[in-house]
Amino acid sequence: MKTIQAFRFALDMTPRQERDVLAHAGAGRVAHNWALAQVKAVMDQRAAERSYGVQAELLTPSLSWSLAGLRKVWNVAKPEVAPWWGEVSKEAFNTGLDALARGLKNWAESRNGKRAGRPAGFPRFKSRRRTTPSVRFTTGAIRVDPDRMHVVLPRLGRLKLHESARKLARRLDNGTARIMSATVRRDGGRWHVAFCVEVERADRTPALPGSVVGVDVGIKHLVVLSTGELVDNPRHLSVAQTRLRALGQALSRKSGPDRRTGRRPSKRWERAAARVGRAHARVANLRRDGLHKLTTELGATYGTVVVEDLNVIGMLANRRLARYIADAGFAEIRRQLAYKTAWNGGRLLVADRWYPSSKTCSGCGAVKAKLALSERDYHCQACGLVIDRDRNAALNLAALAAKFDTAGSGPVAARGADRKTRARGQVAVKREPGTASAGQAGTVPPQGRTADRVLTRAL
């Protein structure tokens, strides 16, 4: 199967190479800001003309918001706007214009109701000090050196890698991968290069193709499996909180920037800010590494993985638990499972958001009307079962796979249409896109509000 995959490597650049990359990132920022100013000027001019009653055919011609249209306008004006344009690659300007084109498209689709999720705001001008420097190359010489410790990029030349690129080089040598683009970006004080690669992946089969596992995520335990396995929550942010607090206090004692007076930050403030950034980057790297190891093991072992459709944004509205929820990475677990199950020949089933996984007895199927978040053990009044609530939820999720197979195809319940817990009803189980045949979903009883996700009340 062909898929798009990213390969990310850390760079060890010389000071001169770093200045070249910063020059390319600055060129992209100049093109972005100039094009955004032109778009705003045309929009304001047309709005003013409409207010004076000018007919539609006599209005100032609108400016195309597509990448091709913005690039055409930029190529005409760049000799005056950026007389130094020949010193950097054309991909630098294309990076800024592409970001603007995507931002304008997202804003327009969000206003017209064509874009799901939170409303997208109108693009803003990029600041040299607050914008993360990055540049993307789509054409030219992009390759990995035979020593696998260097990469070659247009105009930047040969850059040294901090680690070997053998995983990507092997696929390129075998002809099972094709580099589509390369992005150089500074993250947490370190430069990285990310290759967007079209990979031909071999067909795989999970170690236990007929097995089903329910995955219940939480704070006390990061993951509770229906098999009884518990994965502790490492809480990387909480562990690093003492050091982050000390670094933040040290930063506050330095002379930082002041936008009101135009004061620039001192060198000591910049060094202290860099230390804070590196500390946060280390936490993010530890979290990313742990989640990748967990999801890789689940995707390679089980044929069917069942998870919940959690309202993570709503859960983050709880100020008491927002830090711990964000540190756990609930949404990232589901995102990684979506493509890793497909890579390994498995499938991912997503239970409806209001399915009462914790309030349903895994033994007899009885459903409680209410279950407080403080009740860590589930006590069934019908059959007398006493079980850990997270294990009970994982078992109920695993049981949905069998009901899905017997129910066949059916309609998907409306998202959040009914939040009341009932002993009888229907709840949709849907396959994650890319993990199974499109359009298949089963309806299985019952439906209701997920009690152990009571944090969604903050909505």
Active site positions, annotated: 216, 308, 390
Task: Answer whether 448's CB lies under 8 Å from 356's CB.
Answer: yes
Written as one string, the DSSP assignment of 41-77 is HHHHHHHHHHHTT--GGGSPPPPP-SHHHHHHHHHHH
The whole-angstrom separation of Cα 338 and Cα 63 is 39
Please name which of 17, 25, 15, 13 lies closest in space to residue 133, comparing C-alpha atoms.
25
Contact 412, 428 (CB under 8 A): yes
360 near 443, Cβ under 8 Å? no
Instruction: Return d(Cα 84, Cα 78) in angstroms, integer.
Output: 9
Task: Look at residues 412, 408, 366, 416 and name the one whose alpha carbon lies nearest to residue 387.
Answer: 366
SS3 of residue 451 by DSSP = helix
How many CB atoms within 10 Å of residue 65? 17
Residues β-bridged to residue 194 = 8, 183
Please state, in angstroms and as integers, the Cα–Cα distance from residue 95 to each residue in 23, 234, 264, 272, following that order. 13, 37, 28, 30
Nearest to 305 by CA among 397, 205, 233: 397
- Separation of alpha carbons 191 and 201, rounded Å: 28
| Contacts of 211 by beta carbon, 8 Å cutoff, 6+ apart | 301, 302, 303, 304
- CB contact set of 128 (below 8 Å; sequence gap of 6+): 26, 29
CA distances from 262 to 29, 133, 256, 265 (A): 21, 22, 11, 10
Question: What backbone torsions phi and psi does residue 170 show, to the nearest 5 degrees?
Answer: -65, -40
DSSP reduced 3-state for 433: coil
Backbone phi and psi for residue 132, each to the nearest 5 degrees, phi listed first: -70, 120
Q: How far apart are CA 290 and CA 280, in angstroms?
A: 16
In which element (H, E) is residue 264 found?
Answer: none
Report d(CA 292, CA 201) in Å as an integer: 18
